[in-house]
């Protein structure tokens, strides 16, 4: 089904004020992404941050001296990011859709980030957003996208909770990795109570599917796998203790990183935020 980007923008505008309020395992996911980013900064001068939102990555990277270009399609996100970035040099703001980055030349940026949203929430156009991110990458691309093995249990649970049965959207997720609120009339009940009673159109990927689309776009895989599965598998009670305990937080994040690499590379990832990570470079 076609994606209505005007509807999506309105939804992201409404979500903007709470974008950096990291509850649940969002903080773990964000910390794991920083660990990964730090590994790829050597030799990097220019960075493109696609779906930069409130500037949580763009601004600190620009402050560190990298020449950063921020892209987002939400006016509210852009407004908040610009407000936070007053006085920060090396940071350009561009309002654009991740599925069309034709204003940037091919191989134009040393490091490209497209994390948590601007791919997955492009729904049926998500593969195009990946293709655009690949095209503009000179050295490395870091992507995080919705993890199919994390999304299927979530939709299964919400489906049973709201309707006491397994709705068609669960099977649509299995078959095509796609959620679209207008796909089935009963989908609306699942989104009740969310921002604007809406759940943005999204696409979730299996590691194999993501590997194949990156290869099709001329990329070599550097790392591909789940992000933060331990934080989901250890359960809400343990996670809540970790989040309250500053002393243990960093140690737990490092354990999550090891778990993803050594124990369960293709696990479900974190429950909140995109739980599948890929790092790739042009072949
Ligand atoms: C959850 S936020 C993620 C922010 C940040 N990248 C991070 O990793 O924390 C997702 C952002 O992607 C933006 N976004 C979603 N779809 C997009 C699209 N098609 N084009 C540009 N931006 C998009 C939203 O406006 C939002 O600011």
What value, to the nearest 5°, has the Cα angle with vertex 84 and ends 79 and 88?
A: 115
Decide whether any atom of ligand 1 lies within 6 Å of the 120 Cβ.
Answer: no
pLDDT score of 223 = 98
CA 268/CA 229 separation, integer angstroms: 5
Q: Is 117 close to ligand 1, i.e. is its CB under 6 Å away?
A: yes
Say if ligand 1 is within 6 A of residue 53 CB: yes
- Atom 4, ligand 1: which residue's CA is nearest? 53
**How close is the Cα of 116 to the center of ligand 1, in Å?**
7
Q: Are 258 and 224 in contact (CB under 8 A)?
A: no
> Which candidate, 204, 263, 195, 279, places its Cα nearest to that of 229?
263
Q: Give yes or no for a contact between 171 and 145, defined as CB atoms under 8 angstroms apart.
A: no
**d(Cα 160, Cα 24) in Å, to the nearest integer?**
22
The pLDDT-based confidence of 92 (bands split at 50, 70, 90) is very high
Ligand 1 site-directed mutation target among 2, 53, 100, 127, most atoms within 8 Å of CB = 53
How crowded is residue 8: how many other Cβ atoms within 10 Å of its Cβ? Answer: 21
Q: Domain limits of the chain?
A: 5-282
Tokens of 61: 């990277």
Q: Kindly list the distances between the CA atom of residue 157 and the CA atoms of 147, 152, 167, 252, in Å, as whole numbers in the listed order.
A: 16, 9, 10, 27
Dump pLDDT digits (tens) for 24-69: 899 999 999 999 999 999 999 999 999 999 999 999 999 999 999 9
- How many whole angstroms from 253 Cα to the centroid of ligand 1? 24
Its sign, for the CA torsion 87, 91, 92, 97, is negative
pLDDT attached to residue 23: 79
pLDDT digits (tens, 9 = 90+) for 142-199: 999 999 999 999 999 999 999 999 999 999 999 999 999 999 999 999 999 999 999 9
12 in contact with ligand 1, CB cutoff 6 A: yes
**Which atom number of ligand 1 is nearest to the Cα of residue 122?**
19
Tell me the average pLDDT of the chain.
97
Partnered with residue 219 across adjacent β-strands are: 282
- Count how many Cα atoms sit within 13 Å of the Cα of residue 132 in the half-sphere of its side chain: 23
Rounded to an integer, the average pLDDT of 92-117 is 98
pLDDT at 24: 84
The pLDDT of residue 159: 96
Residue 56 near ligand 1, beta carbon < 6 Å: yes
Closest protein CA for atom 17 of ligand 1: 118
- Select the CATH number that applies to the domain covering 5-282 from these four: 2.60.120.580, 3.40.50.1010, 3.40.50.300, 3.40.50.150: 3.40.50.150
**Number of the ligand 1 atom closest to the C-alpha atom of 96:** 21
* pLDDT tier at 22, thresholds 50, 70, 90: confident
115 lines ligand 1 (CB under 6 A): yes
Probe target for ligand 1 pocket from 15, 31, 77, 117, with the most ligand atoms within 8 Å of CB: 117
Strand partners, 4: none
Decide: helix, strand or coil at residue 208. Answer: helix
Residue owning the nearest CA to atom 16 of ligand 1: 118
Q: What does the block give as tokens for 188?
A: 């609306």
- Could you tell me whether strands 46-50 and 109-115 are parallel, antiparallel, or unpaired per DSSP bridges? parallel
pLDDT band, very low/low/confident/very high, at 125 (cuts 50, 70, 90): very high
- Residue 99: CB within 6 Å of ligand 1? yes
CA distance 4 to 278: 27
Q: Decide whether any atom of ligand 1 lies within 6 Å of the 72 Cβ.
A: yes
Nearest atom within ligand 1 for CA of residue 117: 10
The CB density around residue 152, as the number of other CB atoms within 10 Å, is 17
């Amino acid at each position: 089904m076609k994606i209505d980007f005007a509807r999506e923008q309105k939804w992201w505008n409404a979500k903007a004020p709470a974008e950096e309020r990291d509850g649940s395992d969002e903080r773990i996911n964000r910390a794991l992404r920083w660990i990964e980013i730090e590994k790829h900064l050597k030799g990097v001068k220019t960075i493109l941050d696609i779906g930069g939102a409130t500037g949580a990555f763009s601004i600190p990277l620009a402050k560190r001296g990298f020449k950063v270009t921020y892209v987002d399609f939400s006016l509210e996100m852009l407004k908040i990011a610009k407000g936070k970035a007053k006085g920060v040099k090396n940071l350009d703001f561009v309002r654009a859709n991740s599925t069309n980055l034709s204003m940037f030349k091919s191989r134009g940026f040393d490091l490209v980030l497209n994390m948590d949203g601007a791919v997955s929430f492009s729904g049926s156009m998500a593969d195009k957003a990946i293709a655009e991110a690949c095209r503009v990458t000179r050295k490395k691309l870091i992507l995080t996208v919705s993890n199919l093995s994390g999304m299927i249990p979530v939709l299964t649970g919400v489906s049973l909770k709201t309707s006491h049965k397994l709705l068609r959207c669960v099977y649509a997720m299995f078959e095509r990795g796609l959620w679209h609120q207008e796909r089935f009339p009963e989908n609306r009940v699942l989104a009740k109570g969310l921002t604007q009673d809406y759940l943005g159109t999204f696409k979730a990927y299996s590691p194999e599917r993501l590997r194949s689309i990156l290869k099709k776009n001329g990329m070599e895989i550097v790392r591909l796998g789940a992000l933060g599965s331990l934080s989901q598998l250890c359960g809400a009670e343990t996670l809540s203790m970790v989040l309250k305990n500053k002393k243990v937080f960093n140690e737990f994040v490092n354990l999550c990183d090891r778990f993803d690499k050594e124990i369960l590379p293709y696990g479900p990832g974190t429950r909140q935020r995109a739980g599948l990570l890929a790092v790739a470079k042009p072949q």
